[in-house]
Structures are given as C-alpha cells and as structure tokens.
Structure 1
Amino acid sequence: MKSAFSHLVITAALQLAVASTADAAPRSVGQSPWGAEDEIGRLNLITEESRSDVLSRVSGGSVYDLSVEYFIGMPSWQAAGDPHYRIWMTHTPDGTVVDDPLHVGTTMNEHVSYTGAAVSMYTHMGTHIDALVHFGLNGEIWNGFSAEEHLGDRGWKVAGAEKIPPLVARGVLIDVAAAKGLDMLPDGYRITRKDLVAALEWQDVSLREGDVVLIRTGRMKRYADAAAYMDNPPGIGLAAARFLVEESGAMVVGADNLSFESFPSELETDYVPVHTYLLAQQGAPIIELAYLEDLSKDKVYEFAFIGGSLKLRGADAAPIRPVAIPIR
C-alpha cells in the first residue's frame, strides 16, 4: 500500500498542466441539439423508456444514501468569500413560554412545545448539483443564453436549479481509489482518462449513454475535518471529463470531493476548465460531495440513481439527496 501511494504521489507531481491543441483553442458555449429553448442540456436524455428500464432492474434490498450531513463547521467553499453554513433556533420550548409569539398563553405553551429553526448557506454546500448557469464563457451559458439578457437581481430567468427534473437513471460508481489499492487518492492528484478506463476494467463495468457517473477519490473519509477535506483535494482532469461525456455518453457526472476538478488548472485561459467544459460546453450537470463510501465497501458499481434537488428558482445549484438502489 505504501509503495502504491508513493508511486501515485510521484505520478501526480510529474503531471504537467499542458493543454492539448483542442483545449488551447478558443472556447465558446455549446449549442443544444435539443433546440434553441433548451435549458437542461444532457438531462434531456432522461425519457420514459430510460426510467422504466432502470426501475425494472431494481433488485430491492439495500438502499444507499449518497448525501452528507449539514452542520456548523462543515466543509465549504470559502476562497471566493461565500458564507459558511449556519443554523439558528427561531423558537425553543422554553423561549416560547417566555415570548408567547402566538399569544396562546403560558399554560398552552407549557403543554405544547414549539421548536423552529432557520438556515443560511451557499448553494454549493453539502451534496448538491450544479445547474448549467453556474459557469459560462464570454458572458454566455449553455445554449447561448446571455447574462445580460437573462440574469436579474433575483436569479437566472433560464436554466436555473428549478429546471432540473427528478433524476432517475442508471448510476455507475467508478472507484478510482480502490482500483489503485488505496483508501484515498493523494492530495492534488489529477484523475486521468487512463485511470477511469483502468477502474472500469477492474470493476468489469461499462458506461452507457445517459448514465449518472460518480467518481470515488476516497476524500469523504476526511469530511468530518473541514480543513483536511478542503486542503488540495484530488480531482478530475479535462481528458477524463471528455472521456465521460463525449466518449461514453454520461448525462451527469459527480464525485465525493468539492469542486470535482483538480487544481491548478490545465489551461492558462480558464481557471475552472472542467466546469466550463461540462456545464457551458456540454450541458452536463455536476454533483459534488456525494457520499460513496458505502457503495465502495459493498462493491456496488451499478445502481438505480434516484434524486431530486430543491427547486431554487434562478439558482446556480441546489442541495440534492440522492439514493442508490442496486440493479440486476
């Protein structure tokens, strides 16, 4: 195990942030093959037939929760000044007796206890899905919608998180860490196309068009320690992202890390090239902070992925609580 880990560290250190000719060429947003009004991109691959197919193969038994808990001090993106997760009590049993906010009297408040709370958070916290508006190129998002025309003070008028339909599709776990004999990929490791192909061969699984593909780096083992979880995590590279979408037909991609892609960027012209490639050019939503440890432990690589995100109107992302049910 130690030698394998050392080899990966050396390999990661030798990876050069050199873009291919295709990557270095001028980049612009993708135009949807589903029409000029399309706001959901590759989610159009969900059909009645595709839903029926995956649900007909559910084997029953175990149901895997792929979401994480929200709590004060949880890992979150702070580099751009976004807010931490906060929860505070708006009503407590003893406080209600004192304040009597509903004017029902002391006797009633002592008999009927009342607890209420409020939360404040960045949209990209915990297990969440990035909407196609999250990143764009040259003032436009997927399908050529412009910020100038379609973004108001209360969010996007197109392609916001509320447009994301319920996700019912074949899910595939690519356990890159386990395929390399590791509990967790090294800090900063950039997952390559070769890594994904090797892991799929090791699992004896093939990808299909319309899959929700989730990549395990093992980073979730550090989730309880926000600083450790956020410090230089492993992530995916551009060639690997192209393999998932253009070569294999993935509909949604995701991982157990935050920000999905590796840093520093492979392109001098784009500080988040994987995000702009997936969201703005390919119309492929991204799921981040997916909890994949139980799937890995039980070697469940194919499953029915079922998830609904909050319909936050005009938002660039929304929390999602997906489940995985093994399929035959």
Structure 2
Amino acid sequence: MTMQPLFRALSAFLLLVSALPAAMAEGRQPGVSPWGPDDEIGRLNLMTDESRANVLSRILGGKSYDLSVEYYIGMPSWQAAGDPHYRIWMTHTPEGTVIDDPMNLGVTMNQHVSYTGAAVSMYTHMGTHIDALNHFGLDGKIWNGFAAKDYAGDRGWRVAGIENFPPIIARGVLIDVAASKGKRMLPDGYRISRSDIEEALRQQQIKLQTGDVVLLRTGRMQDYDNAKAYMRNPPGLSYHAAKFLVETAGAMIVGADNLSLEAFPSELESDYVPVHTYLLAEQGAPIIELVNLEELSSDQVYEFAFIGSPLKLRGADAAPLRPTAFPLR
C-alpha cells in the first residue's frame, strides 16, 4: 500500500471522528471508583477526619450564612418532564379539629389545645437540594458501573441513594462570576467558561483546593420570587469548565444558584445534559442547585466552612439540603 492512499484513509477517518458528537468521540462511560467496587458516594470520599477538623478549626465565629431557599406554592421548579409542583396542605387546623374531633378528645380539650398539622408533596429536585450519583447515568449505568436493570426498583435505587451521603463538612468557595463581570446577573443562556472562572478567582484572590465545595454565582437567585423569570433560559456552567473544576482544580462538589447548573441548549449532540452526566456518572461529583449565594456575594465572603446534610430519603436521587456557610480565618 502506498503512502498516499494511507494518508487519504487516515484523513477520511479523522474527518469522520471530528463529525461525531463530542461525547462519542471521547468514549464517555460511567466512572469506576478509585475507592472500590462498593463505593456509592464518589468524591465525597475526599472528606476525611483531618480535612473536617482542619476546616472546623478555621471558623471565624460570629456571622453565619443560610444558603437555602424557602419552599412555597408557585416556587420555581422543573416541570418540563412532568414532575410535580410543590404543594402544602393542612391536615389539621385548630377549628377543624374541634369539629372533627379525630382523637375523640371532646370539644373542651380541642378548644383548649390547638392542633395544627400539614403535609407536603414535591419533586426531590426542588428548592436547595443535592443530587445523588444515581440521578443521571450513561447507557443504563450510573457511577461505579451500577446498572439500573440490577439496582433500580419501584421504591428507589438499591445503591447510590441519597441516604448514603454523609454530613458535608468541607471548605466552600464562592466563585462570583456575575460580580467579576460587573453585572447584576449573567445574561440568559450565558455559558460560564474556564476563563470566566479563572478571572473571578483572580479578582477574589482565591485558589481552589482538592476537596472544595465550589459554588458558582450567576445572580439568577435575585429572581427566585418570580418563577417565570427565574426559570427563563438560565445561565450556567459549560461542559469544559466542569471538567476544569474537577480534573484540574479538584472540586468535590459543584453547585450554583440556578436550577439546572448547566446552560442550554446542550453543547453535545449526543447528550442533552452533559454537565450532569459528566459530574455525576463519570466523576462521582455531587451537584447542588438553587443555592442562595446573594448574602455571601454582598459581603464578599469567598472562602468558608460549608456544613450541610441532605434528608435521608432511602433510594432517592436527590434530597433537600439546608447548608450553612461560616467564614474562615
């Protein structure tokens, strides 16, 4: 075979590969855990007794920051795939208990002891929440190769459910992308790049460390009480910036103040949520969404102890989270 046909064949092959969706060209598949075949929490294994003690020992004291949002009827939520709205209803009211007397206590007792109770119904990915590693997968498998056909039952996953997540105690870092650009809020659909992140960190004089909880501020939280505005084509993290945060900077968790973390439409033809599948399925990095970063931004607190735990919903793919930030020395 002469060299010319070989070069032609090689050129044709490279052209074909370049035309493939990026995910296919990269051979994307669920990651295999370096923490062993039974690992269900991925990069949360980066937390150690030493790392927790270190960050707790550096807490400045004084002011703390609640990074969660309120739940209310009409709140922003993902409904495009048919998931339920948030609902709250009263199961007991003081007046109703007097009339119904559900525990046969009599009018006098029910008038004396007022009884109020409520129930809620909601999607697991509502309000400030953290995604478990079973939330998204690739080709029927999630992080560490667990297959849906083997482990996903009608009552949730038998592995990698949110109940396995330990309390999160780690160094948190705010990357205030909106402020670094001198903007109240990033534009609709804006895709945060690696250079955006590096520039914000340079302005903040902060360096990322392995095991950080990295939280990106787009400014979208300012529209939280206006669900239509909040949900409209939000800015978010790019695929390659997500790779930078985990593979180069060593992030343990990546989060943001928007609902989707990533921006749309997708950068990859083969995957409609490439940032989610990359972080959760390939890297075992949990995602936190709807984080309220406005007060941290206002006070220019960029480094803090991040402390929070999700509800232990057995087999669930996510759960509400109420994280608190404590500035560090």
Please classify the TM superposition score into its range, dividing by the shorter chain length: over 0.9
1 CA distance for matches of 2:34 and 2:163?
21
2 CA distance for matches of 1:286 and 1:19?
28
TM alignment of 1:6-21, pairs within 5 A: none
Name the SS of the counterpart of 2:319 in structure 1.
Answer: strand
- What's the counterpart of residue 281 of structure 2? 280
Kindly indicate whether residue 216 of structure 2 is the aligned counterpart of residue 222 of structure 1: no
TM alignment of 1:63-142, pairs within 5 A: 63-142=64-143
CA distance change for structure 1 residues 165 and 280 in 2, over 3 Å: closer, same or farther? same
Give the deviation of 1:25 after TM superposition: 2.3
- What's the counterpart of residue 10 of structure 2? none
2 CA distance for matches of 1:303 and 1:280?
28
Name the SS of the counterpart of 1:172 in structure 2.
Answer: strand
Asked whether the equivalents of residues 19 and 267 of structure 1 are also in contact (C-alpha less than 8 Å), the reply is no
- What's the counterpart of residue 15 of structure 2? none
Name the SS of the counterpart of 2:269 in structure 1.
Answer: coil
> Highest Rg: 1 or 2?
2
Asked whether the equivalents of residues 23 and 267 of structure 1 are also in contact (C-alpha less than 8 Å), the reply is no
TM alignment of 1:307-322, pairs within 5 A: 307-322=308-323
Kindly indicate whether residue 229 of structure 2 is the aligned counterpart of residue 249 of structure 1: no
Asked whether the equivalents of residues 175 and 215 of structure 1 are also in contact (C-alpha less than 8 Å), the reply is yes
2 CA distance for matches of 1:210 and 1:312?
25
Kindly indicate whether residue 53 of structure 2 is the aligned counterpart of residue 47 of structure 1: no
Asked whether the equivalents of residues 23 and 268 of structure 2 are also in contact (C-alpha less than 8 Å), the reply is no
- What's the counterpart of residue 231 of structure 1? 232
- What's the counterpart of residue 159 of structure 1? 160
- Matched AA of 2:90: M
1 CA distance for matches of 2:87 and 2:322?
19
- What's the counterpart of residue 62 of structure 1? 63
Asked whether the equivalents of residues 21 and 268 of structure 2 are also in contact (C-alpha less than 8 Å), the reply is no
Unpaired runs of 5+ residues, structure 1, are 1-17
- What's the counterpart of residue 203 of structure 1? 204
Asked whether the equivalents of residues 22 and 269 of structure 2 are also in contact (C-alpha less than 8 Å), the reply is no
Asked whether the equivalents of residues 256 and 289 of structure 1 are also in contact (C-alpha less than 8 Å), the reply is yes
TM-score, length basis structure 1: 0.93
Asked whether the equivalents of residues 209 and 249 of structure 1 are also in contact (C-alpha less than 8 Å), the reply is yes
- Matched AA of 1:197: E
Give the deviation of 1:27 after TM superposition: 1.1
- Matched AA of 2:71: Y
Kindly indicate whether residue 21 of structure 2 is the aligned counterpart of residue 31 of structure 1: no
CA distance change for structure 1 residues 241 and 23 in 2, over 3 Å: closer, same or farther? farther
Unpaired runs of 5+ residues, structure 2, are 1-18
Asked whether the equivalents of residues 133 and 160 of structure 2 are also in contact (C-alpha less than 8 Å), the reply is yes
1 CA distance for matches of 2:222 and 2:180?
17
2 CA distance for matches of 1:235 and 1:213?
14
Give the deviation of 1:243 after TM superposition: 1.0
Deviations 1:101-143 (A, max 9, x none): 0110000000000000000000000000000000000000000
Give the deviation of 1:19 after TM superposition: 9.2
Give the deviation of 1:23 after TM superposition: 7.0
Name the SS of the counterpart of 1:107 in structure 2.
Answer: helix
2 CA distance for matches of 1:23 and 1:209?
29
- Matched AA of 1:301: Y
- What's the counterpart of residue 267 of structure 1? 268
2 CA distance for matches of 1:113 and 1:24?
64
Name the SS of the counterpart of 1:89 in structure 2.
Answer: strand
Asked whether the equivalents of residues 21 and 270 of structure 2 are also in contact (C-alpha less than 8 Å), the reply is no
Give the deviation of 1:224 after TM superposition: 0.3
Give the deviation of 1:24 after TM superposition: 3.5
TM-score, length basis structure 2: 0.93
RMSD of aligned Cα (Å): 1.2
Name the SS of the counterpart of 1:278 in structure 2.
Answer: helix
2 CA distance for matches of 1:84 and 1:171?
30
Give the deviation of 1:170 after TM superposition: 0.2
Kindly indicate whether residue 306 of structure 2 is the aligned counterpart of residue 305 of structure 1: yes
CA distance change for structure 1 residues 302 and 141 in 2, over 3 Å: closer, same or farther? same
Name the SS of the counterpart of 2:251 in structure 1.
Answer: coil
